[in-house]
Structure 1
Amino acid sequence: MLKRSKKTVAMLATAAVVLSVPAYAATTGPTVQSQENQAKNVIMIIPDGMSLPATTIARYMLDGNENGQTKLNMSNYYVGRVKTTWAGGPITDSAPAGTAYAVGHKSTSGALGVDATLTPKATVLEAAQQAGKSVGLIATSEFMHATPAAFSAHDKARGNYAAIAEQMLNQNIDVLLGTGATKVPAATLDILATVEAKGYTVVDDRTELLATDATKLWGNFSNFLNDKGNMSYDIDRDPDKEPSLAEMTQKAIDVLKNDEDGFFLMVEGSKIDWAAHANDTIGILSDTLAADEAFKVAVDFAKKDGNTVVVSATDHGNSGITLGHYDLTGYDSAPFSILAPLREATKTAEGAMALFNTEKSNVNDVLRAYGIEPEGYQPADAASSDRTTKNNAKVNALIETFKSTKASGDLVKIMNQLAYIGYTTGGHTGEDVAIYAYTPAGISKAPLKGLHENTDVANFMASVMGLNLAQATADLFVEVTDREGATIADNTLTLTENGKTLILKANQSTATVDGASVDLQGEVAVAINNRFYVPQSALDLLQ
């Protein structure tokens, strides 16, 4: 494992930190808190965009008896709720949402790893690395997407994929599983070549992932339906080619657990959010259940290990999904079977649409894959007072519309009408979200009970590992923009002090001092908002 050098106990213990709210915030260095209040490992699972009603509906998707009594794996670990606001309002973008969980500060829309003034702040992942722990990131989106990037990069704009990817590549992350190597033009940044040059074992499919015993692992898995730089929804994936989120979680744990100093792992079920944007109920439920299986893997390990905390919370709500909509008249007499159509689907809308042949003449195959009967539902008298009869008339009209347009947006409307699933929007929503946690003996869940700010979650994770986010920030991000002897040009710092000259490019972790190359062990320089920040370790080279 590539590990950063640990700071001395004295350095770690010096900075007392005043944080805004929680009593459990890390106010001292990593070695100060009593060991019985600490865990070596923390696993955070983020089912991105998973509104609470999605978990309710997922139980019915899972429950063949239709009565909703089957529990999700996470159900028994519910501890409280999280407010999902960002610095400027009640409904957050994924970048500041992930940043709140990663650094413990509210941020601005689109910004990653920074506070509301666009000043970089150390993430839980970076602080864990400073303490000598191994670290990993998993996502079903491209790896530089908002949530994984929030834990491992610092930028004012989440769309700056080249700079974000460059930072992440230079962070010395031990395990990174997801996809997205083609999302940046190779002429700008050849991601795979860089990954291989840094000594990673690269795996491209499920078979390679399960077989490898690499200790430095990079997964680049394609969506074999469309190869658009993200992984397939769980229900759509080819299990011979793409690993599940649970399998990726298990592999990451198997690699990281060998570090005697512990590890931090963030796992994101990225595409719940994408399905919610599309109002694709099947996609939401598919990947909610996949994230739930990943949660089980994490908790099963934590119970055996005895030194691991597992935390799970979505970063924000999305879509306003509800069980029941305006056409569910007589709702108090509706049977469990109204949700049965959800279990007929074998593909998400994305997966079903991928079945179209070139001429798009096989529309019936697409409908059946999405759980819809192409010939419609009877009886279908719109004038009837019977709820099912009236609804079937609307469903049949939507089927005919889809046969004409062959548009994904029209396909999802059919299932939502058929199963009485309502939506208020195709965007994010501002409700509080659930938080789930498993803690081993000696570590209390109490700090997460009740209603909390999203920033509190970062502080809890840091505290339980004995980490000090403020000290890590001071170590990793020293501003040198106006420092005497510094010049900045072409995103590169040249700093002369004590007769020595340091040259360090933004997004890089290799410096030169008087022409000699020095590896900063994954500590990366950052240029953001016309300011330049370098790790203290780089400045120490000039002493």
Structure 2
Amino acid sequence: MKRKAAVWLMLAALLIPLFPAGALAKAPVKNVIIVMPDGMSATHATVARWYNGGKALVSDEMICGAIRTYSAESLISDSAPASTAFATGHKSNSKFIGILPAKTTMPGVAPVADELKYKPGATVLEGAKLQGKAVGLVATSNIQHASPAGYSAHTFNRNDYNDIAEQQVYLDIDVVFGGGKQYLLPVAQGGKRTDGENLVAVLKDRGYRFVEDRGQMASVKSGKVWGMFAMDDMAYEFDRPTFRPEEPSLAEMTGKAIELLSQNKNGFFLFVEASKVDWASHANDPIGVISDVLAFDEAMKVALDFARKDGQTLVLGFTDHGNGGMSIGNKTTDATYDKLPFEALIAPLKKATLTGEGIEKVLDGDLSESNIRFVMSNYYGVDDLTAGEVTAIQKAKKGSMNYAVGPVISRRSVIGWTTNGHTGEDVFLYAYGPNRPTGLIQNTDLALAQAGALGLDLDAVDGKLFVEADKAFAAIGATVRLDKADAANPVLVVEKGMKRVELPISKDIVRAGGTSCEMHGLTVLAAKTGKVYVPRQAVELAVAAGL
């Protein structure tokens, strides 16, 4: 990709500042850190605490309220509209990432005007970038997964990881740590991209250091960095030392992200996710739950230690929804719950040394009954597998062994589960620092709390980043059309007389006259409506280029 021409740099410098001088000085806090355990309900935290000997979790002292998690259309939220809510302040629909809903059916959720349906909504991370703050994302899933994507992308389909990856790369996020390298590479190079673009090369061209293990990450002392530590998701913390010791822990990634981002004199915004609490809950795997709830708590300690020393940082912890309907007590305890000893819950759990995902790696494809019994005895302390349990393990689909193994350990403890899906209960709110929110709040209030802490007006940010291209360019006498000659790489073409400007979809690039310039936001196609949204800066740059 061509770098900025000198004339573009000079023209961009002449644009009206995005925020008035002194705006940052008035912000209540300098930094905001989010640490999120995806899919964690109160029971998850309780079980992890008992597993820890009953000792309080670091996050326990931060509990200050609760969050209502429902979406615009359902009592029980998908992760995508949940992340949209706490990143943009708008409840949305299932699978929607960073865009306004098409329908609202829940009581109290205001309907959306027709012209705003599917419109991108500005995120807190994007607003922090406009303030000149450093921004970062950390996750143990692929970084393109719903929750980190909610802060960094805009699409109606949370599963379009290729498009999400492209938007994240071209958003110029300062620090990114997690999994998902396959969505940065073309198919020809072992990745999943079908548009032919090598986003690792793009990152390097843009001045990023690209690292792939904990040693490389530790060596980074400054500057912009992308760390991709797995082709897809990273390991559960209990499994990591055995199977992927080269991967950094969530706490290590959090610490390094804070170290790098805090070098920005204007402050920073950081989102951290313990992603696989959710995945373990879907599988009803209590060992996976405990593993990554404790990993969340270690990451929270890192954030909290920094905030206590810094004095200018708001730390928020919250989840997007419950998952699994996990309970301490099940049908076997109906008559004995009031005499339930500590050991009934914890003793079977303490025998397990790996998650269900780790057990699949140890089995290594050998699903003979003798090997299954050997592995479950050695790694789970289970010597009395039933014939049905052996069969369930043998029939488990590749990548889903935790769905077979999780119930084995749950039955030997006193843990109950009601579902393999999400649940709709209110969840804990954790907060530390200036102006922390308290009480029972909506998930959308979290976006307002983050924005308010940083002195951001999300509506104003939205007005800068997402204007309808056809209307905005029509105001200067230009026309627009979507060029799909390369279907995998559509481009918005703006024309006026003999002048032409191009804005590739899902990128921050403006091209004109053989040169290119990077904007402070993305060109986004709302595929359901065909509308294209651009930063207001795109029009200003087009005019400056002679359009």
TM-score (norm 1): 0.85
Any residues of structure 2 matched to 1:190-269 within 5 Å, and which? 190-222=198-230, 229-238=232-241, 240-269=245-274
1: distance between equivalents of 2:65 and 2:357? 33
Q: Spell out, residue by residue over 1:471-520, the C-alpha distance to the aligned partner (whole angstroms, 9 max, x if none).
A: 11110111013553222222322223597432111111111134332221
Q: Spell out, residue by residue over 1:149-170, the C-alpha distance to the aligned partner (whole angstroms, 9 max, x if none).
A: 1100101111112211111110
Asked whether 1:456 is paired with 2:445, we answer yes
Structure with the higher helix share, 1 or 2? 2
The residue number in structure 2 matching 1:26 is: none
The residue number in structure 2 matching 1:392 is: none
Aligned partners of 2:143 and 2:178 also within 8 Å = yes
Aligned partners of 1:401 and 1:410 also within 8 Å = no
CA RMSD of aligned residues (A): 2.3
Equivalent of 1:41, from 8, 25, 31? 31
**Unmatched tracts of structure 2, length 5 or more:** 1-11, 102-116, 184-190, 485-489
2: distance between equivalents of 1:156 and 1:78? 33
The residue number in structure 2 matching 1:152 is: 152
Equivalent of 2:348, from 337, 341, 349? 341
Asked whether 1:82 is paired with 2:67, we answer yes
The residue number in structure 2 matching 1:121 is: 121
Cα distance change on mapping 1:510 and 1:101 into 2, 3 Å:
same
- What amino acid does structure 1 have at the position aligned with 2:287? I
2: distance between equivalents of 1:220 and 1:85? 32
Query: What secondary structure sits across from 2:431 in the alignment?
Result: strand
Q: Spell out, residue by residue over 1:176-224, the C-alpha distance to the aligned partner (whole angstroms, 9 max, x if none).
A: 00011114524423232222222211111112112222411111112xx
- What amino acid does structure 2 have at the position aligned with 1:436? Y
1: distance between equivalents of 2:214 and 2:282? 28
Cα distance change on mapping 1:400 and 1:126 into 2, 3 Å:
closer
- What amino acid does structure 1 have at the position aligned with 2:204? E
Q: Spell out, residue by residue over 1:376-414, the C-alpha distance to the aligned partner (whole angstroms, 9 max, x if none).
A: 2xxxxxxxxxxxxxxxxxx75655555765773332221
Identity of aligned residues (%): 39
Aligned partners of 1:363 and 1:406 also within 8 Å = no
Q: CA deviation at 1:308?
A: 0.6
Runs of 4+ residues over 4 Å off in structure 1: 4-9, 32-35, 395-407, 497-500
2: distance between equivalents of 1:477 and 1:419? 52
The residue number in structure 2 matching 1:332 is: 338
The residue number in structure 2 matching 1:503 is: 502
Query: What secondary structure sits across from 1:82 in the alignment?
Result: strand
1: distance between equivalents of 2:407 and 2:13? 54
Q: Spell out, residue by residue over 1:17-73, the C-alpha distance to the aligned partner (whole angstroms, 9 max, x if none).
A: xxxxxxxxxxxx9829945xx11100001110011100000011111xxxx2x1011
Which deviates more from structure 2 when the two are superposed, residues 199-208 or residues 86-95? 199-208
Q: Spell out, residue by residue over 1:333-372, the C-alpha distance to the aligned partner (whole angstroms, 9 max, x if none).
A: 1111112211111100010111014433422343135423
Cα distance change on mapping 1:400 and 1:185 into 2, 3 Å:
closer
Asked whether 1:108 is paired with 2:93, we answer yes
Aligned partners of 1:12 and 1:31 also within 8 Å = yes
- What amino acid does structure 2 have at the position aligned with 1:412? G
TM-score (norm 2): 0.85
Aligned partners of 1:125 and 1:152 also within 8 Å = yes
1: distance between equivalents of 2:126 and 2:374? 48
2: distance between equivalents of 1:444 and 1:290? 26
Q: CA deviation at 1:302?
A: 0.4
- What amino acid does structure 1 have at the position aligned with 2:375? V
2: distance between equivalents of 1:352 and 1:6? 59
Cα distance change on mapping 1:7 and 1:276 into 2, 3 Å:
farther
2: distance between equivalents of 1:155 and 1:454? 20
Asked whether 1:163 is paired with 2:160, we answer no
The residue number in structure 2 matching 1:21 is: none
Query: What secondary structure sits across from 1:459 in the alignment?
Result: helix
The residue number in structure 1 matching 2:113 is: none
Equivalent of 2:411, from 400, 417, 421? 417
**Unmatched tracts of structure 1, length 5 or more:** 14-28, 377-394
Any residues of structure 2 matched to 1:262-411 within 5 Å, and which? 262-328=267-333, 329-339=335-345, 340-361=347-368, 362-368=371-377, 370-374=379-383, 376=384, 396=386, 399-401=389-391, 405=395, 408=401, 409-411=403-405
Which deviates more from structure 2 when the two are superposed, residues 38-47 or residues 399-408? 399-408
Aligned partners of 2:435 and 2:453 also within 8 Å = no
Equivalent of 1:524, from 507, 514, 522? 522
The residue number in structure 2 matching 1:474 is: 463
Query: What secondary structure sits across from 1:261 in the alignment?
Result: coil
Aligned partners of 1:398 and 1:414 also within 8 Å = no
Q: CA deviation at 1:252?
A: 0.1
Which deviates more from structure 2 when the two are superposed, residues 491-500 or residues 283-292? 491-500
The residue number in structure 2 matching 1:539 is: 539
- What amino acid does structure 1 have at the position aligned with 2:31? N
2: distance between equivalents of 1:282 and 1:6? 57
Cα distance change on mapping 1:206 and 1:33 into 2, 3 Å:
closer
Aligned partners of 1:309 and 1:437 also within 8 Å = yes
Aligned partners of 2:19 and 2:131 also within 8 Å = no
Aligned partners of 2:181 and 2:229 also within 8 Å = no
- For these two proteins, the number of residue pairs brought into alignment is 488
1: distance between equivalents of 2:65 and 2:361? 39
